[in-house]
Amino acid sequence: MVSALRRAGFALALVFVVGSFPANSYGQDEPAPSDTPASPKLPKLYFVTQSKGFVHPVVKRAERAMLAHAETCLTEMLAGRFEVVCRQDMSTFPEGFDDMSAIAFYTTGELPLDDTQRALFLRWIEKGGAFIGFHSATDTFYEWPEFGELIGGYFDGHPWHQKVRVRIEDPMHVVTAGLPQSFEITDEIYQFKNFDRERVHILASLDPESVDISKGKRDDGVYALAWCREYGRGRVFYTALGHRPEVWRDARFQRLTRRGVDWATRRWSDLLEGGLGGWHPVKGDETRWKLTGGVLEIAPSSSSLMTVAEFGDCLFELEFRFPEGTPEHGGDSGVVLQRHYEIQLRDGRGVGEEPTTVDCGALRGLVAPKVFAGKGPDVWQRLEVEFHAPRWDEKNAKTANARMTVRLNGVLVHDNVEISERTTDQRPESPGNNPIVLEDRGERVQFRNIRIRPLVP
């Protein structure tokens, strides 16, 4: 049983959602490494790795002042996005903390939370908090049914510990977008009880043909490996992967984790979620583009379209398609960041021997893509961009050029390329944020899943 003071500390922690914190914070009984840097601008993710049952090797610390493998990996993969606060003693949870944006569990057994703390914990998530569970988080709090409902199910054995094939169930979801539709990985694979696929949104599952499925005991044959769900105004993301140390270094697991955390904390914005209210034509007053079923289509020769909101450093992604019937060397459009820096979108047919500055994926007129990655008509293509705006001094003199990393259909076509000048628009570069523009060059082009996540400079 915790003291009244500790309960009060817990209540305070659950009132706030985002704030400023020291990096890689530890409990008062766990001294932090002396070289831990501070970065007070980032929101805090509280990573609990306490084990009251089986202690997984990836959360076992060699020494008290050292992070466990999973703690180190999560801290590294979320660097620049979150301050990861690691705790292995939940009896102090979360004494000494005033606010947080997310809580993640890699835990086992009955952790030391009393009824008051449990109610506050659930209430915090219902009011908009984010909860992330890794692997054995479902092997936790069996005596607290509400926790099982929150996370989506309970551990019910691991019939397989081998190389398996993972199937992406929803490749359009922001968490799984960009991952291969199936891939192989070696890990310990869970099955679950008190699990109902109608209560969660399954993102990834076990391909039953990759294992001896007779070892499982689910009548429905559903062996989910990652899912998400809404909980009141809050969000929950869980992945059953993460038993083996090498999985935490796997690029696909890391992408799934980063996207899951970003989704749970609502750090991605869907620029079509509110319809066309967040867009307006570059020229004229009437928006003639059509949005139907989540697909935005150019009204050829009407006007380019730009966001009402303005952006700086960001991660940006969308899917685009040139409907059948576009000219063989056409399907011409582009995405322009800050109204200055355009990524060419073009039909991938009819290209020459070497990529040029007007081929699909080019920084238009300035830098050719490293390789051809564009496709032909009537195929949805995917563009992913990491953009860093130019830097300026107090006299509005540019001190650093814009930089951009671009992936087209999963292929790296620009790797942190420096953009020395504008690629479009006649106005000079200038400090501050600016809109994103979708170019109309008189031909049919369709867009969907237009998403953005601002980056901390």
Can you name the CATH fold of 275-454? Jelly Rolls (2.60.120)
Note the pLDDT of residue 91.
73
Domains 4-267 and 275-454 are alike in CATH topology: no
Note the pLDDT of residue 347.
84
pLDDT band for 110, please (50, 70, 90 cuts). Answer: very high
Quick one: tokens of 178? 């960009």
pLDDT tens-place string over residues 219-268: 898 999 999 999 999 999 999 999 999 999 999 999 999 999 999 999 88
Note the pLDDT of residue 343.
96
Note the pLDDT of residue 360.
93
Report the sign of the C-alpha dihedral through residues 365, 366, 372, 375, in that order: negative
Mean pLDDT (whole number) for 165-185: 92
Per-domain residue ranges of the chain:
4-267, 275-454
Mean pLDDT (whole number) for 340-347: 92
Note the pLDDT of residue 228.
97
pLDDT band for 92, please (50, 70, 90 cuts). Answer: low
Q: Which has the minimum average pLDDT: 16-30, 262-276, 296-310, 318-332?
A: 16-30
pLDDT at 14 over 90: no
Per-residue CA distances from 27 to 5, 64, 72, 165 (Å): 16, 11, 16, 39
Mean pLDDT (whole number) for 305-316: 93
Note the pLDDT of residue 271.
93
Mean pLDDT (whole number) for 271-293: 91
Note the pLDDT of residue 326.
58
> Which runs of E-coded beta strand occur in 178-223?
182-189, 192-193, 201-206
Mean pLDDT (whole number) for 332-339: 92
Note the pLDDT of residue 93.
61
pLDDT tens-place string over residues 387-434: 999 999 999 999 999 999 999 999 999 999 999 887 766 678 888 899
> Which runs of E-coded beta strand occur in 119-172?
130-134, 154-155, 160-168
pLDDT tens-place string over residues 29-88: 233 332 333 344 688 999 999 999 999 999 999 877 789 999 999 999 998 889 999 999
**Rounded to an integer, what distance in angstroms lies between the CA atom of residue 303 and that of residue 323?**
19
Note the pLDDT of residue 422.
79
Quick one: tokens of 123? 């209430």
Quick one: tokens of 107? 């835990």
Question: For residue 155, what are the contacts with CB-CB under 8 A and spacing of at least 6?
Answer: 136, 138, 139, 190, 192, 193
Note the pLDDT of residue 90.
78
Instruction: Specify the residue for token string 């083996």.
Output: 244
> Which runs of E-coded beta strand occur in 249-370?
269-270, 279-281, 290-292, 295-297, 305-307, 314-321, 333-337, 341-345
> CATH classification of 4-267 is 3.40.50.720, yes or no?
no
Note the pLDDT of residue 252.
96
pLDDT tens-place string over residues 147-165: 999 999 999 999 999 999 9
Mean pLDDT (whole number) for 312-325: 90
Query: 110 — phi, psi (to 5°)?
Result: -90, 100
Mean pLDDT (whole number) for 365-384: 92
Q: Which residue has the higher pLDDT, 353 or 330?
A: 353
